[in-house]
C-alpha cells in the first residue's frame, strides 16, 4: 500500500465515520486502496450505528440508577443486581466463629465499559468489572467468561447479553448456590477486585494466551494475571477509572459501595465492614421493594402501596398508615401505652419507637415515651417512687430492706406503707386522730368515739342526716373533723382492711372475686392472695403442695 493509502487507513481509525474522506481521496491512490476505503467506511458506519442503537436501547431498558452513559464517548457504567435465591446466606469467619446472615439482595456488580470504534465487528468492549464481595479469582473468572460470550457472538452487540449473564447466571457459574463465604481478614486485599480488558487503538490483535490485567483495590493496589482465550488484547485501562469518578458524581449515580464504606464505623475490621455494607444494601433494597408493592391493610382491608403502609418488624403484619396512626393516637391519649401493640387479634407485637414517632408526631410521642418509661419502672420490683407529692422521683430500693431514700429530695421512707421510715417497727400502725381531737377538745369540742364501730356510726349519722343534723354534729365535733379527717380516716381504714400490697411493685390490690390467683393491674404479675407468694408459671404446685387453697 502506498504512503497515501497508509495515511488514509490511519485517518479512518481516528474518526467515527469516514464518509467525508471519499471526496478527499488523493487522485494518485489505486483502485485497491479506493475499494478498501469504501469497505472500511461501510463497516465503520455500521459499527457506529450499532453502538448508538445499543446505548439508546440500554438507556430505555435500565433506570438512571442502573445505567449511566459517559458522554461524549461511547462508554458508561452499568450496575448489575445479581439474582439471589431464596434462603441465601453470607458467611464470614471471626476467629473461630462462623457468622451467617440471611439476605435477599447483594451489592451490585459494577460494569464500566468503553466501546472501541471497531466494535462490534472486530473488537470487544474494553471493560472493568468491580465487585466487593467476590474474590480475586472469582472476578477474574467472570471477566474471562464475558470475553468468551463475545467470541461466541462475534459481530453482534453484546452488552445486554453480558448484563443478563451477570444478573441471572453469575452465582451459578461460580458454583455459589445458597451460601457465599466472604474473604477473611487475612485476605482483605482480595475483597474488591477488577477484571479489566481493553482494546487499545492501533494495536494489532495478540496471539492466544495473552493475559488480562486484574487490578485489586481495597486498601491499596495489587495486580494479577488471568489467562484470556482468543485473540483479544488486554491492558490496564487508563481512562475508565477517571470516567468512573465522573459518573459517581453525577446525580443518581453515587457509588453505593463507597457510600456504604463511608458510613461504616472506622473500628470495624475489613471483613466486618464488608458484611456491614452487604447488610445495609440488603435492608435498603428490601425497603425499596416493600415501598413499590401493594398490600391489604389488616384493619380496613383496603389495598395500599408499601410506601403508605407500615410493617411491624416482630410479627410482619402490615397496616395502612392512616389506620395504625389513629389506633396509636387513641391509646396514647387515653394513657394506655401498653396497649400500643399490633392491632391483629391475639398478637402482642409492638411497633418500634421510630415507627410510633412517625405515626403520632412529636407531641404525642413525648407523652408515649414518658408514660412507657414510667410504666416500665413501675413493673420493676426494685423501683419505687418517692411518696412526696412535689417530688415523685423514681428510687431504687434494696431488696434486703424496706427502707429507701430519694436521691432527688433526700426523703427516707418505708416502701411498704409509703410513710416516713420507722425502723424495725410495724409499717401498719393504728391510725389515730388523737392529736386532732385533743386540739378540738381544747376548744370545747367533744372527742370522737374510740372504737371503729362508733366512728362508722357517727359518719353514717352525719352523711345521712339533714342540714340541721349536720350543723349540730359539726358544732359538737368540729366541721373540719367531720368533713375531712373522719372521712379520710375511714377511707384509710377500709383500704387497710380490704386491700393488700402486691409483692412485686407494692401497689394496693383489692380482690373483687374469683380464685386466689391474683394479677396485679399495674405490673401484670401473679401472686397468691392468701400468703402473697410470688407465683411462677407452675401455679398449681403452690396450691397443691402448700397450705393455701386456690378456691375458698
Q: Is residue 57 part of a domain?
A: no
Q: Are residues 496 and 514 in the same domain?
A: no
Residue 206 CB burial class (10 angstroms; 0-12, 13-18, ≥19): middle
Q: Are residues 513 and 497 in the same domain?
A: no
Beta pairing partners, 98 = 93
Q: Cα-Cα-Cα-Cα dihedral of 308, 310, 311, 313, to 10°?
A: 140
Nearest to 215 by CA among 189, 185, 239: 189
Among the ranges 197-201, 259-263, 451-455, which has the highest mean pLDDT value? Answer: 451-455
Which stretch of 8-22, 350-364, 424-438, 490-504 has the lowest confidence by average pLDDT?
8-22
pLDDT the model gives residue 292: 92
pLDDT tops 60 at residue 184: yes
pLDDT tops 70 at residue 26: no
Last residue of a domain, one of 250, 277, 304: 277
* 32 Cβ contact list (under 8 Å, min separation 6): 1
Q: Is residue 103 part of a domain?
A: yes
Could you tell me the residue range of the domain that residue 126 belongs to? Answer: 62-277
pLDDT tops 70 at residue 482: no
Q: Which position has the higher pLDDT, 325 or 73?
A: 325
Confidence of residue 45 (pLDDT cuts 50, 70, 90): low
Q: Which position has the higher pLDDT, 211 or 359?
A: 359
Q: Which position has the higher pLDDT, 187 or 213?
A: 187
* 77 Cβ contact list (under 8 Å, min separation 6): 67, 68, 70, 110, 111, 112, 113, 243, 244, 247, 253
3-state helix/strand/coil string of 227-277 = ECCCCCCCCCCCCHHHHHHHHHHCCCCCCHHHHHHHHCCCCCCHHHHHHHH
Q: Is 531 designated active site? A: no
Q: Which position has the higher pLDDT, 102 or 503?
A: 102
Q: Is residue 518 part of a domain?
A: yes
Cα 392 from Cα 395, distance rounded (Å) = 9
Which stretch of 176-180, 216-220, 272-276 has the lowest confidence by average pLDDT?
216-220
Confidence of residue 518 (pLDDT cuts 50, 70, 90): confident
Of the residues 417, 515, 521, 548, only one is catalytic, namely: 515
Q: Are residues 134 and 231 in the same domain?
A: yes
Q: Whole-structure pTM over 0.85, yes or no?
A: no
Cα 276 from Cα 267, distance rounded (Å) = 12
pLDDT the model gives residue 153: 83
Q: Are residues 25 and 79 in the same domain?
A: no
Structural domains in the chain (count): 5
Q: Are residues 135 and 166 in the same domain?
A: yes
pLDDT the model gives residue 214: 39
Provide the CB-side half-sphere exposure for 331 (13 A, CA).
23
Q: What is the DSSP letter of 124?
A: P
Q: Is residue 173 part of a domain?
A: yes
Q: Is residue 388 part of a domain?
A: no
pLDDT the model gives residue 93: 82
Q: Which position has the higher pLDDT, 517 or 47?
A: 517
Which contiguous run of DSSP H or E holds residue 360? helix 353-378
pLDDT the model gives residue 546: 72
Q: Are residues 21 and 103 in the same domain?
A: no
pLDDT tops 60 at residue 100: yes
Q: Are residues 548 and 496 in the same domain?
A: no
Q: Is residue 306 part of a domain?
A: yes
Q: Is residue 124 part of a domain?
A: yes
Q: Are residues 206 and 149 in the same domain?
A: yes
Confidence of residue 169 (pLDDT cuts 50, 70, 90): very high
Q: What is the mean pLDDT of residues 354-361?
A: 94
Q: Are residues 244 and 155 in the same domain?
A: yes
Beta pairing partners, 518 = 527
Q: What is the per-residue pLDDT across 284-312, written as a single tens digit (0 to 9) for each?
A: 999 999 999 999 999 999 999 999 999 99
What CATH code is carried by the domain that includes residue 354? 3.30.40.10
Confidence of residue 22 (pLDDT cuts 50, 70, 90): very low
Cα 513 from Cα 13, distance rounded (Å) = 99
Nearest to 415 by CA among 391, 387, 389: 387
Q: Is residue 534 part of a domain?
A: yes
Q: Are residues 200 and 102 in the same domain?
A: yes
- C-alpha grid cell for residue 450? 374510740
Q: Are residues 220 and 346 in the same domain?
A: no
Q: Are residues 534 and 493 in the same domain?
A: no
Q: Which position has the higher pLDDT, 273 or 16?
A: 273
CA distances from 281 to 17, 108, 257, 277, 303 (A): 43, 9, 9, 6, 28
Amino acid at each position: 500500500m502506498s504512503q497515501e493509502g497508509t495515511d488514509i487507513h490511519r485517518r479512518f481509525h481516528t474518526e467515527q465515520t469516514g464518509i467525508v474522506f471519499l471526496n478527499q481521496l488523493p487522485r494518485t491512490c489505486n483502485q485497491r486502496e479506493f475499494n478498501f476505503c469504501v469497505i472500511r467506511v461501510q463497516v465503520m458506519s455500521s459499527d457506529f450505528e450499532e453502538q448508538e442503537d445499543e446505548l439508546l436501547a440500554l438507556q430505555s431498558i435500565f433506570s438512571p440508577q442502573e445505567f449511566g452513559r459517559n458522554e461524549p464517548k461511547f462508554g458508561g457504567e452499568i450496575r448489575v443486581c445479581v439474582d439471589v435465591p431464596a434462603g441465601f446466606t453470607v458467611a464470614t469467619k471471626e476467629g473461630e466463629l462462623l457468622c451467617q446472615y440471611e439476605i435477599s439482595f447483594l451489592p451490585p456488580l459494577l460494569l464500566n465499559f468503553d466501546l472501541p470504534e471497531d466494535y462490534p465487528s472486530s473488537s470487544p468492549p474494553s471493560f472493568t468489572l468491580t465487585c466487593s464481595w467476590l474474590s480475586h479469582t472469582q472476578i477474574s473468572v467472570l471477566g474471562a467468561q464475558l470475553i468468551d460470550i463475545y467470541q461466541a457472538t462475534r459481530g453482534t452487540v453484546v452488552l445486554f447479553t453480558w448484563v443478563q449473564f451477570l444478573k441471572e447466571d453469575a452465582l451459578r457459574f461460580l458454583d455459589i448456590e445458597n451460601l457465599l463465604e466472604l474473604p477473611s481478614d487475612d485476605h482483605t486485599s482480595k475483597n474488591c477486585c477488577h477484571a479489566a480488558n481493553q482494546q487499545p487503538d492501533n494495536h494489532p490483535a495478540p496471539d492466544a494466551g495473552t493475559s488480562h490485567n486484574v487490578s485489586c483495590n481495597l486498601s491499596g493496589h495489587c495486580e494479577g494475571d488471568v489467562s484470556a482465550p482468543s485473540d483479544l488484547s488486554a491492558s490496564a485501562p487508563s481512562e475508565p477509572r477517571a470516567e468512573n469518578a465522573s459518573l459517581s458524581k453525577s446525580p443518581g449515580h453515587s457509588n453505593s459501595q463507597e457510600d456504604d464504606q463511608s458510613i461504616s464505623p472506622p473500628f470495624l475490621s475489613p471483613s466486618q465492614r464488608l458484611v456491614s455494607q452487604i447488610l445495609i444494601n440488603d435492608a435498603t433494597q428490601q425497603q425499596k421493594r416493600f415501598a413499590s408493592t401493594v398490600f391489604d391493610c389488616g384493619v380496613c382491608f383496603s389495598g395500599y402501596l408499601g410506601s403508605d403502609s407500615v410493617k411491624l418488624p416482630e410479627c410482619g403484619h402490615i397496616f395502612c398508615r392512616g389506620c395504625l396512626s389513629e389506633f396509636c393516637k387513641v391509646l396514647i391519649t387515653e394513657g394506655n401505652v401498653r396497649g400500643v401493640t399490633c392491632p391483629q387479634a391475639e398478637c402482642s407485637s409492638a411497633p418500634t419507637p421510630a415507627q410510633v414517632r412517625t405515626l403520632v408526631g412529636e407531641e404525642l410521642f413525648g407523652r408515649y415515651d414518658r408514660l412507657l418509661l414510667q410504666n416500665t419502672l413501675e413493673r420493676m420490683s426494685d423501683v419505687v417512687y418517692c411518696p412526696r407529692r412535689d417530688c415523685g422521683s423514681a428510687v431504687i430500693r434494696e431488696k434486703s430492706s424496706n427502707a429507701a431514700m430519694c436521691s432527688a429530695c433526700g426523703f427516707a421512707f418505708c416502701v411498704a406503707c409509703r410513710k416516713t421510715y420507722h425502723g424495725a417497727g410495724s409499717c401498719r400502725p393504728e391510725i389515730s386522730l388523737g392529736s386532732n381531737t385533743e386540739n378540738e377538745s381544747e376548744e370545747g369540742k367533744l372527742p370522737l368515739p374510740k372504737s371503729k364501730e362508733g366512728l362508722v356510726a357517727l359518719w353514717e349519722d352525719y352523711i345521712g342526716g339533714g342540714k340541721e343534723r349536720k350543723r349540730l354534729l359539726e358544732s359538737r365535733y368540729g366541721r373540719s373533723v367531720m368533713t375531712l379527717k373522719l372521712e379520710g380516716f375511714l377511707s384509710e381504714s377500709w383500704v387497710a382492711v380490704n386491700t393488700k400490697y402486691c409483692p412485686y411493685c407494692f401497689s394496693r390490690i383489692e380482690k373483687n372475686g374469683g380464685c386466689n390467683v391474683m394479677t396485679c393491674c399495674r405490673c401484670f404479675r401473679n401472686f397468691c392472695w392468701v400468703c402473697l407468694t410470688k407465683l411462677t408459671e407452675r401455679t398449681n404446685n403452690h396450691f397443691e403442695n402448700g397450705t393455701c387453697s386456690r378456691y375458698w
